[in-house]
Amino acid sequence: MRKRVVITGIGGLCGLGADAPAIWAAMRAGRSAIGPISNPALHDIKVATGCEIRKLPEHGVERKQLVAMDRFSLLAVIAAREAALHAGLTIDETNTHRIGATIGVGVCGWEVIEENYRAILLEGKSRAGIFSVPKAMPGAPAGHVSMNLGLRGPVFGVTSACSSSNHAIASAVDQIRLGRADVMLAGGTDAPMVWGILKGWEALRVLSPDTCRPFSADRQGLVLGEGAGMAVLESYEHASARGAHILAEIAGVGFSGDASDIVAPTIDGPESAMRACLADASLNAEEIDYLNAHGTGTRANDQIETAAIKRVFGDHAYKLSVSSTKSMHAHCLGASGALELIACVMAIREGVIPPTANYREPDPECDLDITPNTAHERKVRAALSNAFAFGGTNAVLAFKAV
């Protein structure tokens, strides 16, 4: 019999707030944190719109660990500590080898790479910083979470662009299902608000000059943001035995590859991932009440995702509540799926569908109920969270009430 995997704690920070309750409160209110980029170091940016964390919360991470950390690792540690505290998780020598971490990142530690380019090419320094490699490596956040919380179970990083969080969470589910761990910290992190990365995205011509308005006919593209999200995953038996408060169950996961184009998505890939997720969760399409869309705000992506949803759900697609919370926290790349996990879990907990903010004009090609601008109440028995990435790597998660 396959082990059930449940969520017992969540944590996060992004432009919407410094912890998971603040993020959810902003989502419920339909408040977008997207705005002009404030960092004066980000000069010569033609599309100077983003979603920044203006001030980090007090975190208590020791200087000895901080000097070897890039920003994306620090964000992951802050979110992981919140999730562990929320779960009431005690980690000691009796269980440390049965607790691990899988953390998704978009690419790597961009901040330290840019610092080194500036130091060597502009300032004439002869060498890079001594911690450059361990700070930049994509597995660094998982390693730092492991060190900070004392986790000696399965620990590794996952990178698949915008699907990284969902792949990392699904990998954590696998560790528990396979008996390799009882508890996993899983989620994602990214800190792309640096000059070189913004210039690179600018060159792709997919950034919106003002804000992110997914599914709206006048949408102009995506907006980048920074943040981290984390969840404590446990086997149902382990959570029950220790008397943990169970928030929701991860009912299933689904993967697919487009096998088509490095940047242009297909309909078939997302469709296949959603179908695989429903099958893994043993859920019928009609049992899904809420779908947190990938919903980036680009013209092609939103239309393709809408078409894929219609293929999978048929007539029920028009009974679904759909929304894109990227309209509020922006596209945090490797962290997006983990922040959207917070939206799905809390939608199930509170019976509230977070809205798609900034919506202005109906698009006949995106004609589902995308919950425009204002949250609404609805009982949510089960929810899907979509993540589709460059390279055609698709990952979908299914959550349900317990």
DSSP secondary structure of 282-346: T--GGG--EEE----S-HHHHHHHHHHHHHHHGGGGGTSEEE-THHHH-B-GGGHHHHHHHHHHH
Which of 328, 331, 326, 313 has the alpha carbon at shortest distance from 368?
313
Q: Which of 214, 152, 215 is nearest to 184 (CA)?
A: 152
Residues 175/102, Cβ–Cβ less than 8 Å: yes
Q: What is the pLDDT of residue 142?
A: 98
Known active-site residue 238: no
Report the 10 Å Cβ neighbour count for 7.
Answer: 27
What is the distance between the alpha carbons of residues 374 and 29, in angstroms, rounded to a whole number?
7
Distance from C-alpha of 71 to C-alpha of 207, rounded to nearest angstrom = 23
The radius of gyration of the chain from alpha carbons, rounded to an integer in Å, stands at 20
Half-sphere exposure of 317 (CA within 13 A, CB side): 17
Of 86, 84, 103, nearest in space to 165 by CA: 103
What's the CA dihedral at 344, 345, 347, 350 to 10 degrees? 180
Angle between helical axes of 164-177 and 336-350 (0-180°, round to 10): 70
Q: Reply yes or no on whether 332 is catalytic.
A: no
| Residue 213 pLDDT | 98
Q: Which of 14, 51, 162, 344 is catalytic?
A: 162
Find the catalytic residue in 86, 294, 332, 366: 294
**Distance between CA atoms of residues 341 and 360, nearest Å:** 26
Q: Which pLDDT does position 264 carry in this prediction?
A: 93
Query: Strand 290-292 vs strand 382-389: parallel, antiparallel, or unpaired?
Result: parallel
State the Cα–Cα distance between residues 70 and 140, nearest whole angstrom: 8
State the catalytic residue, choosing from 331, 332, 344, 366: 331
CATH number of the domain at 5-241, out of 3.30.1330.60, 3.40.47.10, 3.30.43.10, 3.40.640.10?
A: 3.40.47.10
**Which amino acid appears at position 98 of this protein?**
R
Which amino acid is it at 387?
A: A
Given CA atoms 257, 259, 265, 270 in this order, what sign does their dihedral have? Answer: negative
Does 253-400 carry CATH code 3.40.50.300? Answer: no
Q: What is the pLDDT of residue 83?
A: 98
Given a contact cutoff of 8 angstroms between Cβ atoms, the answer to whether 373 and 327 are in contact is no
Q: What gap in Å lies between CA 56 and CA 18, rounded to an integer?
A: 7
> What CA–CA distance (Å, rounded) separates 203 from 194?
15
Q: What DSSP character marks residue 160? A: B
Domain boundaries, the chain: 5-241, 253-400
Do the domains spanning 5-241 and 253-400 agree at the CATH topology level?
Answer: yes
Burial 177-202 (b: 16+ CB within 10 A, else e): eeeebbbbbbbbbbbbbbbebbeebb
Q: What is the mean pLDDT of each run of 10 residues along the chain (402 residues)?
A: 96 98 98 94 88 94 94 98 98 98 96 92 91 96 98 98 98 98 98 94 96 98 98 98 98 98 96 98 98 98 98 98 98 98 98 98 98 98 98 98 97
Amino acid at 335: A
Active site residue 331: yes
